[in-house]
């Protein structure tokens, strides 16, 4: 007997020293063949739910794709909550810390109270320097000599700490106490379950250039994988949000003022406006 539905594969992506991202499951994972559109895939669950709002008496004939783009453009967010992703993530602990600040997801993480921590630490490829203008970011790289010195210091620190950890464990000290000496560069793993709306919010913040590079590579990997399950939504998000420019009231004033700073606009606001201008020309 032939199956009458398509079952989607589960993708995964290895990011080397930065960790990995694996799709554990997706809702919907099973799509009826008579509703299968290779350009839509999981996206079909969005109009499926949205159309419950438009019952008798509405003359809707728009395509799934058109409806999805309309919904995203007009910030109708609830239908995008109807798709769910479950990932298995591996990342350095300092990245996991940023991750957990997103509250609208479900998480199960390795516990260093129960388990022994493995001798496995994040390894940077380059050592970035502190940014001058942007307090949080970091712009240039060290010279090769400096870089090597940094790497040696760092490796020695990790090694030393893990040795102390092991000694403490051997002395019979509780795992929950012994782990306190381990650096935040230790690797951790967790299951992360999130709906598509909140996932896109995560990606908006964490694939942004303001985000720390070590979380950005994982966020980018997630986006790339999600695009294979929900191609229409991801394209719409790029067109209407990621590649969009938000012109504030003051930007609009500057614009009307032939690109000169209007009275009342601060210097900082004007500098931000000038950064947006290339996109407008």
206 part of the active site = yes
Q: What is the CA radius of gyration of the chain?
A: 24
Per annotation, catalytic residue among 29, 206, 216, 268: 206
Task: Return the number of the residue (14 or 118) whose C-beta is nearest its own copies.
Answer: 118
- Residue 274 engages its own copies in binding (rule: CB under 8 A): no
Query: 87: Cβ–Cβ under 8 A, 6 or more apart, which residues?
Result: 21, 22, 23, 24, 191, 192, 193, 194, 222
- Residue 177 engages its own copies in binding (rule: CB under 8 A): yes
Containing 26, the helix (H) or strand (E) segment is strand 20-27
How far does Cα 196 stand from its chain's mean position? 11
Task: Return the number of the residue (216 or 221) whose C-beta is nearest its own copies.
Answer: 216
- Residue 260 engages its own copies in binding (rule: CB under 8 A): no
Site for its own copies in 72-131 (CB under 8 A): 73-75, 78-79, 81-82, 84, 86, 88, 92-94, 97, 100-101, 103-104, 106-116, 118, 122, 124, 127-131
Buried/exposed 112-150: b ≥16 CB within 10 Å, e otherwise: beeeebeeebbebeebeeeeeeeeeeeeeeeeeeeeeee
Site for its own copies in 182-201 (CB under 8 A): 182-185, 189-191, 193, 195
- State the burial class of residue 166 (Cβ atoms within 10 Å of its Cβ: 0-12, 13-18, 19+): middle
Site for its own copies in 136-165 (CB under 8 A): 136-138, 142, 146, 149-150, 153-154, 156-158, 160-161, 164
Task: Return the number of the residue (3 or 38) whose C-beta is nearest its own copies.
Answer: 3
- Residue 180 engages its own copies in binding (rule: CB under 8 A): yes
Question: Would you name the residues annotated as active-site residues?
Answer: 206
């Amino acid at each position: 007997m032939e199956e009458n539905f398509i079952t989607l594969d589960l993708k995964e992506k290895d990011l080397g020293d930065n960790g990995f991202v694996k799709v554990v499951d997706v809702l919907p994972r099973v799509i009826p063949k008579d509703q299968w559109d290779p350009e839509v895939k999981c996206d079909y669950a969005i109009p499926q739910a949205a159309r419950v709002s438009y019952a008798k008496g509405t003359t809707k004939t728009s395509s799934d794709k058109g409806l999805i783009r309309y919904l995203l453009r007009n910030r109708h967010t609830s239908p995008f909550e109807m798709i769910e992703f479950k990932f298995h993530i591996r990342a350095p602990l300092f990245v996991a810390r940023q991750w957990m600040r997103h509250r609208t997801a479900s998480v199960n993480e390795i516990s260093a109270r129960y388990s022994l921590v493995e001798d496995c630490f994040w390894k940077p490829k380059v050592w970035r320097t502190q940014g001058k203008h942007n307090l949080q970011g970091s712009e240039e790289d060290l010279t090769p000599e400096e870089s090597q010195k940094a790497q040696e210091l760092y490796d020695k620190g990790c090694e030393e700490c893990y040795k102390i950890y092991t000694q403490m464990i051997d002395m019979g000290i509780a795992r929950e106490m012994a782990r306190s000496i381990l650096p935040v560069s230790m690797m951790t793993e967790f299951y992360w379950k999130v709906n598509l709306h909140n996932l896109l919010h995560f990606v908006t913040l964490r694939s942004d250039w303001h985000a720390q590079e070590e979380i950005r590579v994982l966020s980018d990997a997630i986006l790339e994988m999600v695009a294979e399950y929900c191609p229409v939504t991801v394209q719409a998000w790029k067109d209407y949000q990621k590649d969009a420019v938000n012109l504030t009231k003051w930007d609009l004033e500057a614009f009307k003022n032939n690109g000169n700073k209007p009275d009342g606009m601060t210097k900082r606001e004007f500098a931000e406006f000038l950064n947006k201008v290339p996109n407008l020309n």
